[in-house]
Amino acid sequence: LQIFHCAKEFGKYTKALRGTIGFVPTMGALHEGHISLIARAKAENDHCVVSIFVNPTQFLAGEDLAKYPRKDEADKKICELAGVDAIFMPTIDALYGHDEPKIIAPNVSGYILDGERRPGHFDGVLTVVMKLFMLSNATNAYFGQKDAQQLLLIRKMVSSYFLPVNIVLCPTVREKDGLAMSSRNIYLSQEERSKALCISKSLFAAGALIGKGELDCKPLDAVMRSLLDGIDVEYIAFCDRDLRKIDHIEIGSSLILVAVRIGSTRLIDNLWI
Ligand code: PAF
């Protein structure tokens, strides 16, 4: 396992590799969700590289940048055991310079849903992902479906800028009780964690109704809201894969997205239909 802190050195290393490169970008605090992305990247490519970087430009003022979990030593061990070839762990200064050009998220799809609650968040995500794609020379890049809006915007950036990387969507990994894995779950108290189970329950209930033929989003929304009763719901959204609002589910091309606040923790989850 090689570890790079310098952007140029990492770029040189990936450029010299022969064969395909599977890339897993992360902010560290690796959990089963990340491990499943790494396993897939390893299985489908000649080389597997991971980045670990808590990207400051995607956090808004007052968000959890300072307290975001950092577990560098444990993360290195996990990568080593998973057979990762190289980790890129830059400092902020190694990745960002003064007065740089930025990638700006699309006007509409980048500023609705999470982008409305966190304006500028996706500008930061797309900017760092562009840098990481350039340095990783990735053939395939692996992203979890849990961050659906992020994934769709990255896919849009790749097609708009003709980037030579294939984006691989990977299923959300859940705890046994249904809670979607997230590095932010560690912020939850036991009581908050059991409250958080309503999120996946509401999505699974909508999925079951859709399975029985209910395709109208209004009753689906009502059932979900009743299961999320007592929770601070930021949004429940029914969208197509371009994040345009829909009134009727179309199997194979719809998404249900949820964001809630439990205590001071913001959680998101979704169902790809
Ligand atoms: O999903 C994440 O962990 C981050 O948003 C990403 C893609 C690594 C960019 O910082």
User: Residue 168 and residue 193: Cα distance in Å, rounded?
Assistant: 30
- Average pLDDT over the chain, rounded to an integer: 98
Atom of ligand 1 at shortest distance to CA of 27?
A: 3
Contact 123, 115 (CB under 8 A): no
- The pLDDT value recorded for residue 133 is 98
Q: Does 34 participate in catalysis according to the annotation?
A: yes
- Ligand 1 site, residue 167, Cβ cutoff 6 A: no
Residue 28 CB–ligand 1 contact under 6 Å: no
Residue-wise pLDDT tens digits, 191-236? 999 999 999 999 999 999 999 999 999 999 999 999 999 999 999 9
Please name which of 49, 76, 53 lies closest in space to residue 136, comparing C-alpha atoms.
49
Residue 151 Cβ inside 6 Å of ligand 1? The answer reads: no
Write the CB contacts of 137 (distance below 8 Å, at least 6 apart in sequence).
11, 14, 15, 17, 21
Mean pLDDT within 232-246: 97
pLDDT band at 20 (very low <50, low <70, confident <90, very high): very high
Give the model's pLDDT for residue 240.
97
Region 152-165: mean pLDDT is 98
Dump pLDDT digits (tens) for 110-151. Answer: 999 999 999 999 999 999 999 999 999 999 999 999 999 999
pLDDT of residue 176: 97
Check pocket membership of 33 for ligand 1, CB cut-off 6 A.
no
pLDDT of residue 79: 98
Distance from residue 27's CA to the centre of ligand 1 (Å):
6
Q: Which of 185, 147, 178 is CA-nearest to residue 69?
A: 185
Question: What is the identity of the amino acid at 196?
Answer: A
Token pair recorded at residue 19: 């064969």
- 50, 55, 59, 96, best to mutate for ligand 1 pocket (most atoms within 8 Å of CB): 55
Cβ proximity of 96 and 53 under 8 Å: no
Question: What is the C-alpha to C-alpha distance for residues 226 and 202, in angstroms, rounded to an integer?
Answer: 8
Between the CA of 40 and the centroid of ligand 1 the distance, in Å, is 17
Residue 233 CA to residue 213 CA, distance in Å, equals: 26
Q: Decide if 101 contacts 134 (C-beta within 8 A).
A: no
In tens, the pLDDT along 42-97 reads 999 999 999 999 999 999 999 999 999 999 999 999 999 999 999 999 999 999 99
> Average pLDDT for residues 241-266, to the nearest whole number?
97
Beta carbons within 10 angstroms of residue 15's beta carbon: 11
| CA nearest neighbour of 201 among 232, 171, 238, 226 | 226
Binding site membership of 127 for ligand 1 (Cβ less than 6 Å): no
Q: Which helix (H) or strand (E) holds 136?
A: helix 121-136
